[in-house]
Amino acid sequence: MSSIGLEKPRSLPVEISYASLGKKVLMAVTGLVAFAYILGHMLGNLQIFIGRERLNDYAEFLHSLGWFLWVIRVCLFAFFAVHVWKGIQLKLENWASRPTRYVKNNTVQASLSSRTMIWTGLAVLSFIVYHILHFTVRVTNPQYQSMVDGLGRPDVYSMVIAGYQNSLIAVVYIIAVGLVCYHLTHGIASMFQSVGLNNPRLQPLLDKIGWTLAVIIFLGFISIPLAVMFGYLQPLAGGM
Amino acid sequence: MNFTLHVWRQKNARDKGRMETYRAHDITPDMSFLEMLDVVNEELVEKGTEPIHFDHDCREGICGACSLVINGIPHGGKKGCTTCELRMRNFKDGDEIYVEPFRAKALPVVKDLMVDRSALDRIMQAGGFVSVSTGAVPDGNAIPVPKAVADKAMDAAACIGCGACIAACKNASAMLFVAAKVSHLVHLPQGQVERERRVRNMVAQMDKEGFGNCTNYYECEAVCPKSISVEVIAKMNREYLKALTKPVK
Amino acid sequence: MKLESRVPSGPLAEKWDKHRFEMKLVNPANKRKYTAIVVGTGLAGGSAAASLAELGYNVKAFCFQDSARRAHSIGAQGGINAAKNYQNDGDSIWRLFYDTIKGGDFRSREGNVYRLAQVSNNIIDQCVAQGVPFARDYGGTLDNRSFGGAQVSRTFYARGQTGQQLLLGAYAALNRQIGRGQVEMHPRTEMLDLVLIDGHAKGIVVRNLATGKIESHAADAVVLATGGYGRVFNLSTMGLGCNVTAAYRAYKRGALFANPCFTQIHPTCIPHTGEFQSKLTLMSESLRNDGRIWVPKKKGETRPPSQIPEDERDYYLERKYPSFGNLAPRDISSRSAKEVCDEGRGVGPTGYGVYLDFSDAIKRLGKNIIEQRYGNLFEMYHLITDEDPYEVPMRIYPASHYTMGGLWVDYNLMSNIPGLHVIGEANFSDHGANRLGASALMQGLADGYFILPYTISDYFARVGAKNISTDREEFRAAEKEVKDRVKKLMAVNGKQTAESFHKRLGIIMWEYCGMARNEAGLKKALELIPALREEFWSDVKVLGEAGDMNQTLERAGRVADFLEFAEIFAYDALNREESCGAHFREEYQTGEGEALRNDKKFAYVAAWEYKGVGQKPGLHKEELEFENVELATRSYK
């Protein structure tokens, strides 16, 4: 008589957004999208080394998408917002689940990156806000608005170089990218665990993949400001 | 050996509690950590102080009653070892040792180092069983279970329900405990009929008890006295996702 | 009082079937009118509470631990017997019955033991269905090993934690019923008295250990599943909370205590190291399948074991019992270890230890196989002693482990008090004077899953539902007695801890009522115990408050009961002028030092009746009748 009862099965969206395991799945999926975006963003940026034309072509291509670009932007924003929202919510719940702290704290194997996800995450969030204001909306540096190339297109190439010639901006950028990548060292392997794609044989491999990808992305992104600071990438004479 | 102990004292659930300092004298390296506390307690009683209360029973690492967070690590940090099995030879003479109760909102302190772990029982009551009544069963050999599968089930079933995983988790999450049971039963043919309902119910009860969320720190696995792998958590995550996509039977 | 065993007549193999038919049934619609109290949630109590609830009875379950899952059944490592004959090695219900009754040295009831062997098979099926992860072989079928003195492989096991896994099965079944609301679970609650109404057991008085509150609970029947009293020796393999209190308080209310001197001393425990040691850790007996037990031939040997040449070693079990060798039954192995140590040939720092050596097995089978078979036990040993048993032989010594004695029950598992049922280790049960390995788990689950649910229904059907209230005078009076006793304990305000009295009692019991007993020693114990008890009541120190969680008070109450109980134990050992099973009286042995039974005078169950504290208890005899087995002298040579 009697078996495991399920009083009121919650619908899938409710379960996903409120059950602890559901929230984790959301973190993993939105994290994966954010990661894919970062990877694409890096590959796009690296075209700067091919030359001004290539980069500006790429920027023009993106803009030419028109309404579709906005769809992408809105989707990205939504995924990102969910990632942030759920991340903060999880953290608040986690804090609440241990109201009395230990007098003596200790850690056996949890990595520093895993324990600082909320802080690296929030730092990255504030950087992203700045980054969008800097290069996309261009309110921090309104002079970029006037940068156009020979074809009258926004001269992304020159904006980037102008931006990183300011070493303060370059350093902030490098640190921020570092934080993003540090966030990823835990995030990439963690995604697999959260959706259940992990086992003891796979786990060390996932950890390595996570670190390797994070380092590649870090090097990819910082190569640009470094190249500018060390003079490998030069502003084009008369380009302005 | 001699030690300085900083121990959490709390008269009852309503008391605020505080750390107190005691000295442990003439401890031999062969003593277990709890035997060391027994010695301290005998001395306290002789002096007219109420002894330090802590849960314990089998004293051989199987009943799961003993708890304690020792220097910030549940069960003291020796791999595959409960507090009652931990020997004083693992400490250095003169060490300062911090002894605190397991900390989690869902595991409130009863007295001193004792906590109320009934939340764990309630999670089990929500679905940690196979619905089979006495008598209505086939022969034990009627359904073969491959050895590798039986071994996997046994690995997960080894959980002693001490709650160290929760105490160690920075989020006070009970995932390893719950996942061990889900994983144990999901491996075996006997538990199949209710697998979806089991995982959903147990997760729902776990959430209701106020445990934190898993953020894949893997501290739980490091302190588990039965060395249960976080693999079981991955397994439960997978089970849970699968269960969500299926209609409830 | 005439003790009626109520074993049904007829051929042995048909008794249980016949009895099941003859027992009365409770109409399914009426089952919800009955409530059963189950005290203890180990294998017996947990399985009984779950099974009774499944039938539709209301159940109130109690345990002193913080969770039902922590009952000391979890400590059993080795395995559980069943007469499945899966290995095709000639096992049968009859053989399991015969081995068990012979292993118990013919001091148990034929009818009970046969029934135990019969239901053993159902237990395995039940546990498999619950998801107990028994060991399997590569074909996917259940694996068996030979264990504890059996010549067939009938032991089912789950790594080194069979007890834990079986208990988790029963705990799961119990949880299912708690979830349904059919069982009301009371953890951290200790039974302190039994309440009789018109001579029937109808309730208990308990102390809520977390709050200190004294409460009463009423029911239509009371089931005690409170385990054994091995902690009367203080150092034992039992959990530190294990105690005799519930059984002893029932005894004080008139239940008879049967064969208290039948206590098993397990041969393979890690030796004692120091004064503050709190418990002795058991190493599974399965180790004796591959380990060889030896001591040096020379007294006072100081060389490390590896430097003692083969011809200077005495493999004494293999020498004395060539056909069973290292697998000789527990009582024999334990006593032999004590003998060689008493001769001064013991090993280790205290001289109370013998080697259990795996070097031959490692050579023969390889370290890998040994690790697969015993890996977790070796790790545990290493952890405790800081010695690696792959490199140096283990040291082992006997320790108090299991108590065959317990409250007297009839074939229905009911004591002489109507309505009071006693199951598992708490009853005197089916093991006679000695228990074979892997049969305690079998008995606990047999009682709880397959016997009690039938027999308690018979009791219910015969007396009807009474719907008793705890407002009755009998409950008030019992509560008052319990409260007075708590007050009395708190009021002594002496200098010594309960713990220290427990230690001293343990030493007396080990010294004079331990593995080998004699008249002079037992008489000495009977002088020392009352003196110690008197000292306890004038000098024990209990701190804290009665109305709060208070471990010193709990401990003191349990020690106080042990101090009274120890006397019945000694009286029983003194009364039984023979050696049988685990009860070895030095006066009664053969020229070769083997136990000498006296079937003419002592083929009975000694059931003791309470006559007052410090008074000699009254003896009632239940003569044991053997119609199906011949009372042979056990020979394991």
ipTM of the complex: 0.97
- Closest partner CB to B60 (pick from C139, C281, C544): C281
| Contact assignment for B223 to A6 by CB distance below 8 Å | no
Pick the closest to residue C235 from C79, C380, C344, C352 (CA basis).
C352
List chain C residues with CB under 8 Å of B24: none
DSSP B31: S
The pair of structure tokens assigned to C469 is 């209230």
Nearest CA in chain C to A2: C180
Q: Which chains touch B (3 or more CB pairs under 8 A)?
A: A, C
Gap between the Cα atoms of A25 and C335, Å rounded: 61
| Contact assignment for B212 to A94 by CB distance below 8 Å | yes
Q: Does residue C330 have an active-site annotation?
A: yes
Asked if A2 is an interface residue toward chain C (Cβ–Cβ < 8 A), one would say yes
Gap between the Cα atoms of C149 and C435, Å rounded: 10
Percent of chain B with pLDDT over 70: 99
- Within chain B, what is the greatest distance between any pair of CA atoms? 64
Q: Which amino acid is at C265?
A: I
Find where tokens 């949890």 sit: A110
Spell out the alpha helix ranges (H) of chain B: 33-46, 118-127, 147-157, 164-168, 175-187, 195-208, 219-223, 231-245
A60-106, pLDDT tens digit by residue? 999 999 899 999 999 999 999 999 999 999 999 999 999 999 999 99
- Which one of the listed residues C288, C330, C558, C585 is annotated catalytic? C330
The pair of structure tokens assigned to C548 is 């709060």
Gap between the Cα atoms of C573 and C583, Å rounded: 8
Domains belonging to chain C, first-starting first, are 267-399 (3.90.700.10), 473-599 (1.20.58.100)
Q: What is the pLDDT of residue A1?
A: 44
Q: What is the pLDDT of residue C277?
A: 86
Q: Name the E strands within C348-426.
A: 354-357, 394-403, 406-407, 420-422
Pick the closest to residue B152 from A206, A199, A193 (CA basis).
A199
Domain locations in chain A?
22-93+111-229
- A167-194 helix and A20-46 helix, angle to the nearest 10 degrees: 140
B184: left (phi over 0), alpha (psi -120 to 50) or beta: alpha
Q: What is the pLDDT of residue B249?
A: 57
The pair of structure tokens assigned to B132 is 């089979």
Mean pLDDT value of segment A149-161: 88
Burial C496-513 (b: 16+ CB within 10 A, else e): bbbbbbbbbbbebbbebb
CATH class of B117-245: mainly alpha
B173-200, pLDDT tens digit by residue? 999 999 999 999 999 999 899 999 999 9
Pick the closest to residue A118 from A150, A90, A76 (CA basis).
A90
Asked if A7 is an interface residue toward chain C (Cβ–Cβ < 8 A), one would say no
Distance from CA of B37 to the nearest CA of C (A): 10
- Within chain C, what is the greatest distance between any pair of CA atoms? 74
Q: Which chains touch C (3 or more CB pairs under 8 A)?
A: A, B
Distance of CA C314 to the CA centre of its chain: 32
Asked if A1 is an interface residue toward chain C (Cβ–Cβ < 8 A), one would say yes
Pick the closest to residue C436 from C198, C142, C152, C168 (CA basis).
C152
Find where tokens 């559980």 sit: C80
Distance from CA of C152 to the nearest CA of B (A): 19
Per-residue DSSP letters for A136-148?
A: IS--SSGGGGG-B
Phi, psi of C265 (to 5 degrees): -105, 115
Gap between the Cα atoms of A145 and B127, Å rounded: 62
| Contact assignment for C380 to B191 by CB distance below 8 Å | no
B141-172, pLDDT tens digit by residue? 999 999 999 999 999 999 999 999 999 999 99
Residue contacts between B and C (CB atoms, under 8 Å): 224
Gap between the Cα atoms of C108 and C102, Å rounded: 9
Pick the closest to residue A199 from B218, B156, B229 (CA basis).
B229
Strand B96-100 relative to strand B69-70: parallel, antiparallel, unpaired? Answer: antiparallel
Per-residue DSSP letters for B109-120?
A: EEETTEE--HHH
Pick the closest to residue A95 from B73, B208, B172, B101 (CA basis).
B172
Per-residue DSSP letters for B156-191?
A: HHT-----HHHHHSTT-B-HHHHHHHHHHHHHSGGG
Distances (CA, A) of A229 to A53, A143, A233, C34: 21, 20, 8, 86
Query: Considering the entire predicted model, what is its pTM?
Result: 0.95
A240 pLDDT band, cuts 50/70/90, is: very low
Q: What is the pLDDT of residue C77?
A: 86
Strand C420-422 relative to strand C221-224: parallel, antiparallel, unpaired? Answer: parallel
Strand B109-111 relative to strand B114-115: parallel, antiparallel, unpaired? Answer: antiparallel
Q: What is the pLDDT of residue A239?
A: 44
Gap between the Cα atoms of B233 and C2, Å rounded: 60
Q: What is the pLDDT of residue A2?
A: 61
- Closest partner CB to B216 (pick from A1, A22, A194): A194
Three-state DSSP class for residue C615: coil
Asked if B42 is an interface residue toward chain C (Cβ–Cβ < 8 A), one would say yes
DSSP H or E stretch at residue A188: helix A167-194
A49-68, pLDDT tens digit by residue? 999 999 999 999 999 998 99
Mean pLDDT value of segment A115-129: 96
Asked if C241 is an interface residue toward chain B (Cβ–Cβ < 8 A), one would say yes
Strand partners, B100: B69
List chain C residues with CB under 8 Å of A2: 176, 180
Gap between the Cα atoms of B120 and B161, Å rounded: 8
Asked if B117 is an interface residue toward chain C (Cβ–Cβ < 8 A), one would say yes
Domain locations in chain B?
3-111, 117-245
Average of per-residue pLDDT values in chain B? 95
CATH class of B3-111: alpha beta
Three-state DSSP class for residue A190: helix
| Contact assignment for B125 to C176 by CB distance below 8 Å | yes
List chain B residues with CB under 8 Å of C213: none
The CB density around residue C594, as the number of other CB atoms within 10 Å, is 18
Q: What is the pLDDT of residue A235?
A: 85
The pair of structure tokens assigned to C139 is 């074909």
The pair of structure tokens assigned to A179 is 């934080």
Q: What is the pLDDT of residue C128?
A: 98
Q: Which residues contact C502 (CB under 8 A, 6 or more apart)?
A: C231, C234, C555, C559, C562
Which residues of chain C fall short of a pLDDT of 70?
A: 148-149
Phi, psi of B24 (to 5 degrees): -110, 120
Give Rg (Cα) of chain C. Answer: 24
Residue A237 pLDDT greater than 70, yes or no? no
The pair of structure tokens assigned to C101 is 């009754």
Gap between the Cα atoms of C307 and C312, Å rounded: 10
Residue A238 pLDDT greater than 50, yes or no? no
